Structure 1
Amino acid sequence: MAKVTVGVSLKMYFGHQQATTWFDEVATRVRAHDAVHSGAVELFITPTFLQVLPAITAFAGTPVRIGGQDVAAADTGAFTGEVSASELAEVGASIAEIGHAERRRLFAETDEVVAAKTAAALRAGLTPLLCIGETERQEPADAAAVAVAQLRAALVGAPAGSVIVAYEPVWAIGAPEPAPHDHIRVVAAALRSALDADPDRADSAVIYGGAAGPGLLTALGDDVDGVFLGRFAHDPDALVTVLDEAAELALRRASARGAS
Structure 2
Amino acid sequence: MTAPVTVGVSLKMYFGHRQTLDWCASVAELARTHPAVASGAVKLFVIPGYLAVPSAVEILDGSRVVVGAQDLATADSGAFTGEVSGVELAEVGVGVVEVGHAERRRLFSESDDIVALKTAAALRNGIAPVLCIGENVRAEPADAASECLRQLGSALAGAPAGRVIVAYEPVWAIGAAEPAPADYIRAVSAILRASVSALPGRDGSTLIYGGSAGPGLLTELGDDVDGVFLGRFAHDTAALGRVLDEAALVANRRAVEVTS
Give the alignment's TM-score, normalised by structure 2: 0.98
In the alignment, what sits opposite 2:105?
Answer: 104
Following superposition, the deviation at residue 136 of structure 1 comes to 1.1
Once residues 254 and 190 of structure 2 are traced to their aligned partners in structure 1, the CA distance between those partners, rounded to angstroms, is 17
Give CA-to-partner distance per residue, 1:179-198, whole Å, 9 cap, x none: 11121112212222222332
Superimposed CA distance per residue, residues 151-192 of structure 1 (whole angstroms, 9 cap, x where no aligned partner): 101101101111000000011011111111121112212222
1:100-179 aligned within 5 A:
100-179=101-180
2:36 maps to 35
- Count matched residues: 259
Structure 1 residue 30, shift from structure 2 partner:
1.1
Matches within 5 A, 1:57-68: 57-68=58-69
C-alpha distance in 2, partners of 1:108/1:190? 28
SS across alignment from 1:240: helix
Offset, 1:137: 1.4
- Rounded to whole Å, the distance in 2 between the matches of 1:228 and 1:197 is 22
What is the CA distance between 1:139 and its match in structure 2? 1.5
SS at structure 1 position matched to 2:256: helix
Task: Give the corresponding residue for 2:53.
Answer: 52
Amino acid in the other structure paired with 1:148: L
Q: Is the Cα–Cα contact under 8 Å of residues 147 and 187 in structure 1 kept in the other structure?
A: no
Q: Is the 8 A contact 1:148 1:190 kept in 2?
A: no
CA distance in 2, matches of 1:120, 1:173: 26
Please report the RMSD computed on the Cα atoms of aligned residues, expressed in angstroms: 0.9
TM-score by length of 1: 0.98
User: Which ranges of 4 or more aligned residues in structure 1 deviate by more than 6 Å?
Assistant: none
**Percent identity of the aligned residues?**
64
The answer on whether the counterparts of 2:189 and 2:225 sit within 8 Å (CA) in structure 1 is yes
1:192 is matched with 193
Q: Tell whether the 8 Å contact from 2:141 to 2:187 is kept in structure 1 after alignment.
A: yes
Q: For the residues of structure 2 that align with 1:257 and 1:108, how far apart are their CA atoms? A: 44
User: Which letter does structure 2 place at the counterpart of 1:113?
Assistant: I
